[in-house]
Amino acid sequence: MENIFDYLLSAPVLILIFVLVLLKTSIKFVPQNRAYVIERFGKYQSTKEAGLNFILPFFDRISADRSLKEQAVDVPEQSAITKDNISLHVDGVLYFRVLDPYKATYGVDDYIFAVTQLAQTTMRSELGKMELDKTFEERDLLNTNIVASINEAAGPWGIQVLRYEIKDIVPPHSVMEAMEAQMKAERVKRAQILESEGDRQAAINRAEGQKASVVLAAEADKAEQVLRAEGEAQAIVAVANAQAEALRQVGEAAATAEGQKAIQLDLATKAIAAKQAIAKESSVVLLPDSGTDAASVVAQAMTIINTLNKKG
């Protein structure tokens, strides 16, 4: 046992232990997305980034361990007054990251607290430039303005604000009631406008339907008249053709001997009928019926016909 103790206290072993301690204290493994701020004799010496790094043992020390990841900080609820003197309660979430570990360590005592307070004051300032209605309608613009203002002020701290999101905007109860009444009136107004637009469109549709009906009826009447006229014209043409055909056939028949006899017989028949008609009139003198041949009968018939024509 004494031999083991003496061996551990021997110079080579002590030197080996001292070397191992020096190596352990001088070698630093920095994790990904982190940075170590190194001080030597209390003064800033360097910033060690991710990977294998070496420092002087007993002289250098890690002053700060900064995360380079994006961080989210809750911005507590606070009151703000809008441009039209309405008091609001607003809260939000701030997203930022450390760009310069040196400035984040030596530029401000607590950069998270500082950037949170800056977000609150900037939000109050931006809300004071807007009216109440605009705070709801232009929330994206409000967030953008807050981010730009914070980045301008947080530059010396080595902080970059990525975005700011307003979670809730709560106006006073009386304002909420007035807004609800206004929204109800707007909904009623929109409903009435939609109803009137529907009535107007229905009236237009009915008028267009009536117009189309009148046009169709006129076109139908026109088509009917055209068809009737075409039918009458065709009927007249057909009658004329029939009469012409009859005359042609009569002419062809009259050119024959049988046709001449038929004509004479027809004339004689008409002469006899004419005599019977004349006999009823006391003022008409009947011719003597001396002719017995066909030519005499025809001549007498012609004379009677001419006499009747002159009387008429």
Give the CATH number, domain containing residue 159. 3.30.479.30
Specify whether 146 is located in the same domain as 238: no
Instruction: Tell which phi-psi region holds residue 74, choosing left (phi > 0), alpha (psi between -120 and 50) or beta.
Output: beta
CA distance 179 to 14: 81
Last residue of a domain, one of 34, 51, 66: 66
Specify whether 108 is located in the same domain as 165: yes
Specify whether 107 is located in the same domain as 34: no
Last residue of a domain, one of 211, 230, 255: 255
Closest CA to 271 of 256, 257, 289, 259: 289
How confident is the prediction along the chain (312 residues), in pLDDT tens digits per residue? 555 555 555 667 677 777 777 778 788 888 998 999 999 888 998 889 888 888 888 888 888 889 999 999 998 888 888 888 888 888 899 999 999 999 999 988 888 999 999 999 888 888 888 888 788 778 888 888 889 988 988 888 999 999 998 888 888 777 777 777 777 888 888 888 988 888 888 888 888 888 888 888 888 888 888 888 888 888 888 888 887 777 777 667 666 777 666 666 677 777 677 666 666 664 555 555 554 455 565 566 566 555 655 555
CA distance 124 to 145: 12
Specify whether 35 is located in the same domain as 111: no
Residue range of the domain that includes 131: 71-171
Helix (H, G, I), strand (E, B) or coil at 312: coil
Specify whether 122 is located in the same domain as 160: yes
Q: What string of DSSP letters covers 37-88?
A: EEEETTEEEEEE-SEEEE--TTTEEEEEEEE-S-EEEEEEEEEEE-TTS-EE
Sign for the pseudo-dihedral over CA of 279, 285, 290, 296: negative
How many domains would you assign to the chain? 4
Helix (H, G, I), strand (E, B) or coil at 23: helix
Contact call for residues 28 and 62 (beta carbons, < 8 A):
yes
pTM of this prediction exceeds 0.85: no
